Structure 1
């Protein structure tokens, strides 16, 4: 591949040292066997950002997280996220994501034992602790204390490719069967293009993709004139705004088809469409299968893996 990848591990006070070291080992090995130039920084000072990171990771902690021990960290995360970093948390690391307001009404996950406390502290947080990993283009959250392994493999797959992730999992003898080789194609837009106005719209769409969002709404969010916005959006993402929104919605639909038993019509409405037949045609064009066939193929593959 030949690309460069910069990842920061945020070693906040109380973070689990075994996870910090383990992330270095797993991500470092992936960089070693890939063609990418991978740099890994362990940060303990959150007062300034010295470089741009593709992803930042909040490892789990050995005990209860105390925001007062590191009050600058939520703002630090907001700054990194605003510059295009994918923010990632494992277990208790979600506390800082919530404090930074990056959950923004989306479903996120953490250790089940934290659900009551975090829900009380952050009423707008939508927790789904039945899921091990929940991914968005700009945010990845993982569940229990050892879920940092799944988080690391998700990042490796996203940035270095599926074969490198599989090879890394085999090297460390960890399970990788839940990953996305069964999903045929994914939509993981680039957040590293450097256009802050367009990135702001991408973050907006991550939260509002299920709503009735128009190109005019996107342009208004960007703060740019409509024609300038559309030109810069295409230059940054490779897609026209409407195409981008379609891809994002269909990616959400794939998640719902895999993770739930909701009828296809419910999935259609949940991701922002009002006409199920049109939704089925669009899904089929972008995914290569009808929604029902996609779900059936996934379930058949799951049964094979369980045998």
Structure 2
């Protein structure tokens, strides 16, 4: 029997992650029975207290067992913890040695969305790939520079450590885990029963690039604002360096340190974000949008757009703008 522990952390936690994981994973034995197979899973809510209040006491979760009483588990699910991540980790500090011990005993550990912050706080993610909500990527990198964050990924896996991307992409990780433990046929049945898009690999189409301005380098912030206001024009590193009165090499180093992007990458991301808005709202054809955001080489634009979003310009427009027609 595979024992699954879904954590019920203290503080503000994703009820959807907890209840959704419990519902789907608890149904697996019924799916196995449909296939003429024996039950395989025991699913429990595991907490640090007998009752955990959520949403200003609108909801109360009563874990079935306390972590201290679980001597052996096979899979730990960490839901998304909201708010100040350092405070959330401190509030749930008692979980950390238990998770570490269970991992050393052979358990797998999976984080859902912002649960990656708490998983990283255990030290188990150090040097490993990780996914989380794309909007929290800058904060995650700042807190855990030793973790290989992969902004675009829906799922990462290495050494019995699993993570999922933002929000409802936790469903994709659950189906992935079902396949790991129960096989492809049960994973497909689970996906079909809950209308989950199986094998989705990227959260790139959902990412909104807002520019990383949570830094104190004012000249670099000035350069960012200039790029965002003038993205239709040809902008060079030398131009930005002269504008901020910083030597080119120093400017490039400070820009990368402050934003996480090279200057060229940042300009590309701003142009792509502008193009995405046009594809979502306008009736312009593809080439019109490409030229309007300052690209002359349409092939280069299409290559960069596919790399950033995971979709071609036409696929993106058709996905988000149903008023347009294929041109």
If the length of structure 2 is used for normalisation, what is the TM-score? Answer: 0.51
Counterpart residue number, 2:8: 11
Residues 73 and 96, structure 1, Cα contact 8 Å, conserved in 2? no
Distance apart, 1:43 and its partner CA: 0.8
Alignment correspondent of 1:22: 20
Other-structure match for 1:160 = 182
Structure 2: which 5+ residue stretches go unaligned? 49-65, 202-310, 316-327
Change (3 A) 1:125 1:96: same
Paired residue for 1:298?
none
Counterpart of 1:42?
A: 45
**How far is 1:108 from its partner?**
0.9
> How far is 1:62 from its partner?
4.5
8 Å contact kept, 1:133–1:140: yes
Assess, with a 3 A threshold, how the Cα gap between structure 1 residues 75 and 39 changes in structure 2: closer, same or farther: same
CA shift digits 1:168-206 (9 cap, x unpaired): 110111111448xxxxxxxxxxxxxxxxxxxxxxxxxxx
Note the alpha carbon deviations across 1:33-70, whole angstroms, 9 max, x for none. Answer: 11333111101126524232111000113444321211
How far 1:27 moved relative to its partner?
0.9
> 1:144-155, aligned counterparts within 5 Å?
144-155=166-177
Higher gyration radius (CA): 2
Quote the residue 1:55 is aligned against: 75
Two-structure CA RMSD over aligned residues (Å): 2.2
Change over 3 Å in CA distance of 1:97–1:115 after alignment to 2: same
Q: Superposition pairs for residues 74-153 of structure 1, below 5 Å?
A: 74-153=96-175
Could you say what secondary structure the match of 2:168 adopts?
coil
* Other structure's SS at 1:24 match: helix
Distance 2:116 2:91 in 1: 16
Q: Which residue of 1 aligns with 2:192?
A: 170
Question: Matches of 1:29 and 1:148 in 2, distance apart?
Answer: 17
1:169–1:176: 8 Å Cα contact kept in structure 2? yes
| Change in 2 beyond 3 A, CA 1:137/1:163 | farther
State the number of aligned residues. 179
Secondary structure of 2:163's counterpart equals strand
Question: Do the aligned partners of 2:17 and 2:112 also contact (CA within 8 Å) in 1?
Answer: no
Distance 1:16 1:163, change over 3 A: same
Superposition pairs for residues 66-77 of structure 1, below 5 Å? 66-77=88-99
Point out which structure has higher relative CO (alpha carbons under 8 A, 6+ apart). 1
